[in-house]
Amino acid sequence: MSAISELSSLSRRKGRATAEEKKANGRDNKAAYIFLLPWIVGLVAITIGPMIMSLYLSFTDYNLLQPPEWTGLDNFTRMLSDARLHNSLGVTFTYVFIGVPLQLAVALLIALVLDKGLRGLPFYRSVFYLPSLLGGSVAVAILWKQIFGTTGLVNQVLAMFGIQGPGWISDPSTALGSIILLHVWTFGAPMIIFLAGLRQIPNMYYEAAKVDGATTLQQFWRITMPMLSPIIFFNLVLQIIGSFQSFTQAFIVSGGNGGPSDSTMFFTLYLYQKGFGQFDMGYASAMAWVLLVIIGIFTAINFIASKYWVFYDD
């Protein structure tokens, strides 16, 4: 009987302990929700709410002055015959497919140099990272416009050698290239991530490769690239998403009109013109969702393709 009473007493104590733990956990959860409340309100009011509203507006004719009028798929079917939209897609794809690989290549090259243990590494790291902090700003875009203008710094340097430089921004054949160069120049963020990844590669792999007689190039392709592939994949996904959403550079450098012959008419810039220039907010909302789908497709392709080239050491 004493054993039974002890078991019952123990079960009661466990029950009380469990109830107290639940109360304590409840208090902790309430505190967590209170601290998360500003973020949750921001998520609903600033992100989810406008997204749902824009999805609704994409099926309407809305000019900001009159109530939205439901039009179904008219905005999306209009895109099929919109030549400027097709051109903006071509410009954006060119910008992404050329700018992103070049930027990542430059970032990796600089990271490899800095990984050699240069004296004053924190200084160089800060200097190279600085353009990433300023690259999307209006001030840098204006500066870039001055550098590549008809009488800008680049043409002044060329004139010293007797070369008459073109209007890099006003010439349709070079306008997009100047903006791509600006994008490549802002390589600091991926460079820092590459540098952190390089520091995580064990040195024993390189020592073993040297013993086997592997050259520096062979070590790079056989050790560095496979071990760094998750970092490359991470940077690739982030830079593609960010590049598709680029707006400030094209808006400032081109003066907001898409540049000569719409050569710098990014998809986001055309979306801005439709929504806030022509007040065709329904069509602009539909364009925004098309851009979201495009980014989602490319992100999914990257994740599917990563199975064939991204190496995880686990």
Q: Is the pLDDT of residue 73 over 90?
A: yes
- From 67-71, 149-153, 258-262, the region with the lowest mean pLDDT: 149-153
* Beta strand extents in the chain (DSSP E only): 60-61, 69-70
Where in the sequence is the domain holding 12, given as residue range(s)?
2-57
% of residues, the chain, pLDDT over 90: 43
- Of the segments 126-140, 142-156, 284-298, which one has the largest average pLDDT value? 284-298
211 lies in a domain? yes
pLDDT given for residue 255 in this prediction:
75
Regarding whether 109 and 254 lie in a shared domain, the answer is: yes
Q: Evaluate whether 204 touches 126 at the Cβ level (below 8 Å).
A: no
Regarding whether 188 and 49 lie in a shared domain, the answer is: no
Q: Of all helices (H) and strands (E), which one includes residue 10?
A: helix 2-42
224 lies in a domain? yes
Regarding whether 286 and 172 lie in a shared domain, the answer is: yes
Q: Is the pLDDT of residue 165 over 70?
A: yes
Regarding whether 92 and 16 lie in a shared domain, the answer is: no
| Cα 313 to Cα 88: distance, rounded to the nearest angstrom | 41
Q: Which amino acid is at 257?
A: N
Helices (H) and strands (E) in the chain, counts: 15, 2
Tell if the pTM clears 0.75, that is, is over it.
yes
Q: Which two tokens stand for residue 262?
A: 């719409």
Check residues 142 and 91 and name the one with the higher pLDDT. 91
255 lies in a domain? yes
**Which residue carries 């925004």 as its tokens?**
288
Regarding whether 179 and 103 lie in a shared domain, the answer is: yes
Regarding whether 179 and 47 lie in a shared domain, the answer is: no
- From 92-96, 205-209, 258-262, the region with the lowest mean pLDDT: 258-262
- Give the CA-trace dihedral at 97, 98, 104, 109, to 10 degrees: 150
Q: Is the pLDDT of residue 87 over 90?
A: yes
Q: Which two tokens stand for residue 88?
A: 């903006």
- From 7-16, 100-109, 117-126, 301-310, the region with the lowest mean pLDDT: 7-16
| Cα 84 to Cα 304: distance, rounded to the nearest angstrom | 32
Q: What is the mean pLDDT of residues 130-147?
A: 69
pLDDT given for residue 166 in this prediction:
79
Distances (CA, A) of 109 to 37, 115, 131, 143, 285: 43, 10, 16, 26, 40
313 lies in a domain? no
CB neighbours of 313 closer than 8 A, spacing ≥ 6?
A: 227
